Structure 1
Amino acid sequence: MSLNRSNQKIVGVIVLSIICLIMGGAFVIPIPYFAIGPGKAVEVQPLVTVGKETDVGEGSFMLTTISMKQGSPFDFLLARWTGTIELVPEEQILAQDEDKQDYQRRQKVNMMESQNQAIVAAYHYAKRPVTQKVLGIEVERVLKEGTPLLQEGDLIMQMDSQPAASTKKLIAYLSRKRPGERIALTVLRDGQKRKLRVPLVALPVDKGERPRAGLGIVPVEKVNVKTTPPARIDAGEIGGPSAGLMFTLEVLNRLVPEDLTRGYRIAGTGTITADGEVGQIGGIQHKVVAADEAGAELFFCPKDINPEDQNEKTAKDTVKRLGINMRVIPVANLNEAVQALKKLPLRERASFKSKTLTGVA
């Protein structure tokens, strides 16, 4: 009898151990998906510096983020049963030959570009002095089929006898070449200029397309932006291009005498160009939830213009489906966003800002 009881205890321990291993594995075993859900709404004001100023505005602009991590079987169950997160296949997130470290680096590059575009757009709108100069084309990443003569971080300053003025011009110039041809590049590497004679490689093309020549790199324009008064954005660890609109509104708010927030907590998302055009982003349903959890009253989103655009529709559907008390304002450009803000009734507790800016021309 004692032997049977002992055996029962052993079996119980084994079964319990197996259950614990299965449950533990459900949390840590990776699957080829990313689990995406609501992130945070972050006030933009502390991230932006424009001249030297005193800001007594009552409201705030907030950028919104998503949370993203490697998916697990547990996330699969959450996505299926609760709908609080979604699983997105890795190939829809990662670019060709890109790993997770490459992706994070790309997001940082996108953030830097977004900050530059936001500053330029705001200063153009406010008619304040701003200049931008392309210093060259930086090699963000060398693809597996790319030329081994280039390295990540190289700054291409000249191609043959032409300045590397933009990625568009670089791609157009290479499109007239053939794989195997060589071009002369002047690059800045580790602070030293180098002259390279680089053979062009055959880039991957779809079936039926003719071979296309290139360097086999991911190119990024290195831009220097100068403004009066000086402006700076420090987003910390936040990556990606989708905070562009909210950065622009915050920078612009420092350049105009009135308080554009009108006393409201305003969240939003959307890319921005130097001309002030607002572009579509991903994961907007999660950003709506993040904005609501932060107490936002208004939510700016990219307006649906093209047939494939879904940001405006998804944002409004999410608010309705979840019963969120937050107004969605779709905009196609910076001017539409500013005009929408100016139409808001001024909050009683809000006052026009008193600012002191130095270096204003």
Structure 2
Amino acid sequence: MPRRTASMLASLLLLIAVLCAAVLIEVPYAAMSPGPTYNTLGKVDGEQVLSFPGKEDAGNKATGNLNMTTVRVTGSEYRMNLFEAVYGWLAHDSAVVPRSTLYPEDKSARQVEEENAEEFSRSQESAKVAALRELKKKVTTRIVVQSVVKGGAAQGKLHAGDVIKAVDGKPVDNPQEVGDLVTKHEVGERVDFTIVPAQKAAAAEKAKKDPLTLEGKQISVPTKKSPDDGRPVIGIASGTAHTLPFRIDITLADVGGPSAGLMFALGIVDKLTPEDLTGGTFVAGTGTIEADGEVGAIGGIRMKTVAAREKGAEFFLTPKDNCATAAADKPAGLTLVEVDTMHDATSALKKIRNGETGDLARCSTG
């Protein structure tokens, strides 16, 4: 066999061996790619994403698009090989990240799914509150027992949904105050709670009454030493709950995480505002939302801008802390608008509607 032919054959066999190895070798990475987008002003699978039962005058005039965006990720059972990882690193419309970023080793796939579902649910509630406050609607807030630790001192004494009116006789306005008042005690000392039991609070809500107006019940709970840092604890997580002036339903399945909060809130504002907020323009975006209207950063921003532009978006509302990353690899034809609060976002939409796009705060790499 001629030497040149032998060399080419050897090279070909080596290449085949390398490719086979690349396919067989598993690597600890996962892939992210652009996911579906959903217009919060429209319908998904025949159902309105946003609806207002009993408020028939809401949502009839909203046009245009306010699309929330998602990221598609490889499943928890999927094991990426080296060939796929290299392809993902080179491709423009995908990203390769350490598998532990999406599926932490100390959590099961089920736990990750449950956490994503909980975050999605909390983001919906925050979106409702942020939207109503932007519209100057009255929303009352109360501090509640969010969860009770199994085997903790509070088990059997306090329950999820209990309204916390006071701790040691001091009214509380935020969850942090509850923790601070508990940790002022020595381990073994008792903490006195003034609560409205969950069932009574739920009944008051149903009757359109503020649970905080009900007479409180006194519950005393001893503190225990935290196994983590030795602090005095009682084994509860506290949070906030809100009473809305009317019902708002958000219907969207198979989505998790908190990043749709901003777009849900804007959709609610648009549907409850007499004039069309978008002016018929296709706007997409992302960002977490707090009840006070603060917009937070999210993951997978590049995948979301790609998804939005492929769907037809002209403008993309981008959390301030994501702006530099998004601007570094911006899809052609998409304007990235920087937002830090709910009010920033509504103001940007009004400028887009009025054709004042030159005044928009645009994302930059600097």
By the TM > 0.5 criterion, same fold?
yes
Three-state SS of the structure 1 residue aligned to 2:347 is: helix
Out of 256-265 and 232-241, give the one that drifted further.
232-241
Three-state SS of the structure 1 residue aligned to 2:292 is: coil
Residue 232 (structure 2) pairs with residue 213 (structure 1): yes
User: Residues 295 and 99 of structure 1: is their aligned pair in 2 closer, same or farther, counting only changes over 3 Å?
Assistant: same
Q: Give the corresponding residue for 1:44.
A: 40
Instruction: Quote the offset at 1:78 in angstroms.
Output: 2.6
Give the % identical residues: 28
User: Residues 263 and 122 of structure 1: is their aligned pair in 2 closer, same or farther, counting only changes over 3 Å?
Assistant: same
Q: Give the corresponding residue for 2:11.
A: none
Instruction: Quote the offset at 1:113 in angstroms.
Output: 2.4
Q: Give the corresponding residue for 1:169.
A: 177
Residue 294 (structure 2) pairs with residue 288 (structure 1): no
Q: Which one of the candidate residues 103, 107, 111 is aligned to 1:102?
A: 111
**Alpha-carbon deviations, 1:52-77, whole Å to 9, x = none?**
23524431111111223327442554
Instruction: Quote the offset at 1:265 in angstroms.
Output: 1.5
Instruction: Quote the offset at 1:327 in angstroms.
Output: 1.0
Q: Which one of the candidate residues 195, 200, 205 is aligned to 2:224?
A: 200
Q: Give the corresponding residue for 2:67.
A: 62
In structure 2, what is the Cα distance between the partners aligned to 1:183 and 1:95?
36
**Paired residue type of 2:51:** T
Residue 315 (structure 2) pairs with residue 315 (structure 1): no
Residue 271 (structure 2) pairs with residue 254 (structure 1): yes
**Paired residue type of 1:227:** P
Does the CA contact (< 8 Å) of 2:163 and 2:198 recur in 1?
Answer: no
Q: Give the corresponding residue for 1:307.
A: none
**Paired residue type of 2:97:** L
Unpaired runs of at least 5, structure 2: 1-18, 42-47, 202-216, 356-366
Q: Which one of the candidate residues 73, 82, 90 is aligned to 2:88?
A: 82
**Alpha-carbon deviations, 1:9-66, whole Å to 9, x = none?**
xxxxxxxxxx99x96x77xx7x765543322211112311132235244311111112
Does the CA contact (< 8 Å) of 2:34 and 2:70 recur in 1?
Answer: yes
Q: Give the corresponding residue for 1:243.
A: 260
User: Residues 41 and 199 of structure 1: is their aligned pair in 2 closer, same or farther, counting only changes over 3 Å?
Assistant: same
In structure 1, what is the Cα distance between the partners aligned to 2:346 and 2:196?
42
Q: Give the corresponding residue for 2:208.
A: none
Three-state SS of the structure 2 residue aligned to 1:343 is: helix
Does the CA contact (< 8 Å) of 1:184 and 1:196 recur in 2?
Answer: yes
Q: Which one of the candidate residues 209, 225, 240 is aligned to 2:243?
A: 225
**Paired residue type of 2:327:** K
In structure 2, what is the Cα distance between the partners aligned to 1:226 and 1:60?
26
**Paired residue type of 1:44:** T
Q: TM-score, normalised by structure 1?
A: 0.70
Instruction: Quote the offset at 1:236 in angstroms.
Output: 2.7
Q: Give the corresponding residue for 1:119.
A: 128
Q: TM-score, normalised by structure 2?
A: 0.69
Instruction: Quote the offset at 1:169 in angstroms.
Output: 1.8
User: Residues 177 and 86 of structure 1: is their aligned pair in 2 closer, same or farther, counting only changes over 3 Å?
Assistant: farther
Does the CA contact (< 8 Å) of 1:35 and 1:71 recur in 2?
Answer: no
**Alpha-carbon deviations, 1:231-259, whole Å to 9, x = none?**
22233332222111111111110122221
User: Residues 36 and 160 of structure 1: is their aligned pair in 2 closer, same or farther, counting only changes over 3 Å?
Assistant: farther
